[in-house]
């Protein structure tokens, strides 16, 4: 969008060349004084959309941006200071998937309501 200075993004986690797949990170997008995108970030608005126009949605891409370990949301997954990866307990995978499916279902339901008008 046009206003976000930070975002929670899903990025592939690499440790010592090994890919551990997508993980959530809090990432600064723009300079807080000039509001210009930081280096390596391409940010844009996706424009009007059917439904959800009150939400400022946009697109974001990164080009060779290193995100520090401290930005990783480490509720279930851990990365130690030494660089060791500690995977999440197995039972948390189901709850993460359920949340994702629930959000997708809400979007479909809302789109159906808009189309029925």
What is the model's pLDDT at position 31?
96
Q: How far is CA 3 from CA 20, 24, 26, 36, 116, in A?
A: 31, 21, 16, 10, 31
Low-confidence residues of the chain: pLDDT under 50: none
Retrieve residue 70's tokens: 């401290």
pTM of the model: 0.68
Does the domain spanning 6-86 belong to CATH 2.40.110.10?
Answer: yes
- Domain extents in the chain: 6-86, 89-117
What is the model's pLDDT at position 62?
94
């Amino acid at each position: 969008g046009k206003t976000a200075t930070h975002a929670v993004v899903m990025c592939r986690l690499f440790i010592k060349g090994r890919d551990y797949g997508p993980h959530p990170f809090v990432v600064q997008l723009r300079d807080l004084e000039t509001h210009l995108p930081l280096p390596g970030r391409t940010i844009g608005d996706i424009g009007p959309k059917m439904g959800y126009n009150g939400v400022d949605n946009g697109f974001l891409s990164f080009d060779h941006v290193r995100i520090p370990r401290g930005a990783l949301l480490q509720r279930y997954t851990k990365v130690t200071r030494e660089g060791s990866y500690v995977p999440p307990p197995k039972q948390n995978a189901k709850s993460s998937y359920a949340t994702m499916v629930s959000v997708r279902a809400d979007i479909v339901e809302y789109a159906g309501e808009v189309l029925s008008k």
